[in-house]
Amino acid sequence: MRPFCLSLVILGAVLALLPAAEPGEGVTAAAILARGKLVVAQVAGERFPFFFTDPTGRLVGADIELAQAMAEGLGVILELERSAATFDEAVEKVRRGQADAAVSKLSVTLGRAAKVRFSAPYLVQHEALLVNRLRLAAEHPGLDAWAACQVRGVAIGVVRGTSFARALPELAPGAVVKEFADPAALTAAVVRGGVLAAFHDEITFILIRQLRPHVALWAELHLLPSRHDHLAVALPAGDAHFAAWVDLLIERRGGPVAAEPLLARWRSSDPAGQPRVVAEQAAAIDRAMDEAGAAEPPPQPRRWGALSLLAALLAAVAVGTGLAVAWCGRTAHAR
């Protein structure tokens, strides 16, 4: 037998001994196990409490713990690929095969789901509005926060490059969308009155309320009960087996969790022990409140000011009438 033909026979025999695999099943998991490393994409920067630097300089957070649990469950090391400039770019890294997964505070959207497969959610929260209550009362009397946001021409803020930035034009077609670099800048714009409202997630606004409770003098939180934000792991679209394994891992870790328990897990009651990103956000709120005159209670909207003036006039009339009646009574008695 010629050497070439003998090589084909040997190759055929080896392939016959390998287990058959359905397309897309186990490809990613097999590659991860073969290389001994799980590559997880993440957005550069920090998003408390998902991925952030603690006071000791370590990168920690709920997403870091989940990514580490995935690596440990597979028996491999974890490599975080944190170069994505946007959340969509983290999804693209998975789609292009540059990462095995993305664990990066990713909201599940139809557009992203067309490119990757999402795991079961590990956090479910409400979408929310943070509304400047003075502007709401003065400019839109009688309307609730969401109805006011439907008025044509109102200014609503979002964080640039998020799922909220893409969703808002559809939810509030007449709104003027203003984009901000991060949640701290978004919050500051609401407090200053630069926008009527901010559209973002529940966990961000609850954290703001916890950091600075008196921000409620200027900005009030409105959860949107019919709208939910699901955070999940982005995975390769064709690997059903790997996705099922991640779903099971999330379930066994107690997921999905809600916003407030997650914040309670990572929040420190000691101001000196706050992560840098949290301290910066608190400082941005303080500056905004200072600029808005937050040292004193905010002025009442005009309609309440008019009512207060009317009440004062009525009280003055009542007092005057009482004094007149008393004087007349004393005069009559003297006679």
Nearest 5°: CA angle at 26, between 25 and 32? 150
User: Cα–chain-centroid distance for residue 60?
Assistant: 17
Q: Give CA–CA dist 154/151, Å, rounded.
A: 6
The answer to whether 26-122+232-267 and 126-229+280-291 have equal CATH topology is: yes
Q: Which of 78, 91, 118, 122 is nearest to 244 (CA)?
A: 118
> Helix, strand, or coil here: 80?
strand
Helix (H) / strand (E) element for 156: namely strand 155-159
H-type alpha helices, 150-258: 163-171, 183-192, 202-211, 240-252
Q: What are phi and psi of 325, to 5 degrees?
A: -65, -45
With 50 as the cut, is the pLDDT of residue 181 above it? Answer: yes
Domain ranges of the chain: 26-122+232-267, 126-229+280-291
What's the CATH architecture for 126-229+280-291?
3-Layer(aba) Sandwich (3.40)
Q: What is the pLDDT of residues 240-296, one digit of tens each?
A: 999 999 999 999 999 899 999 999 999 877 777 889 999 988 999 999 988 877 444
Count other C-beta atoms under 10 Å from residue 227's C-beta. 13
> Helix, strand, or coil here: 11?
helix
Q: What is the pLDDT of residues 58-107, one digit of tens each?
A: 999 999 999 999 999 999 999 999 999 999 999 999 999 999 999 999 99
> Mean pLDDT across the chain, nearest whole number?
83
Q: Which of 302, 273, 298, 279 is nearest to 212 (CA)?
A: 279
Max Cα separation, the chain?
146
Q: Which of 21-30, 46-55, 201-210, 296-305 has the lowest mean pLDDT?
A: 296-305
In this structure, are strands 123-132 and 219-231 parallel, antiparallel, or unpaired? antiparallel
CATH code given to domain 26-122+232-267: 3.40.190.10
